[in-house]
Amino acid sequence: MKIVANKYKENEVFKIIREWTNLTQDELAKELGYKTYHSIKQIERGVNTFTFQKLMQIARKYNIKVTLEKGAEWK
C-alpha cells in the first residue's frame, strides 16, 4: 500500500503507519518507550506531535519505506 503523506494531516499519517504495523496504541507506546498508550492516542488525535526521528524509528523496525519526492505543487 502507498499513500501520499502530503494529502493527510500529520496525526493521520501517524495513525496509518501504526495500523500498517498491526500494533495497538498500547503496543506501539511500549515499542517507542512511552509509559502508556495515552501518548499515542494524543498523537493520533492531533493533540501532541511526533518527531521525524520517531517516524523513522517505526519505519526502520517495521520495513516501511519513507520516500521524499520533489515534484509538482501539492494541493
Domain enclosing residue 12, as ranges: 7-61
Q: What is the pTM for the complete model shown? A: 0.83
pLDDT, tens digit (0-9, with 9 covering 90-100), for 7-65: 999 999 999 999 999 999 999 999 989 989 999 999 999 999 999 999 999 999 999 99
Is 21 among the domain residues? yes
Rounded Cα distance between 21 and 35, Å, is 19
Into how many domains does the chain fold?
1
pLDDT at 72: 66
- Burial of residue 43 (CB within 10 Å: 0-12, 13-18, 19+) is buried
Express each pLDDT in 8-21 by its tens digit. 999 999 999 999 99
CATH of the domain at 49: 1.10.260.40
Residue 40 counted as domain residue? yes
Residue 39 falls inside a structural domain: yes
- Contacts with 10 (C-beta within 8 Å, 6 or more apart), sequence order: 46, 49, 50
Could you tell me if residue 69 is inside a domain? no
| 68 lies in some domain | no
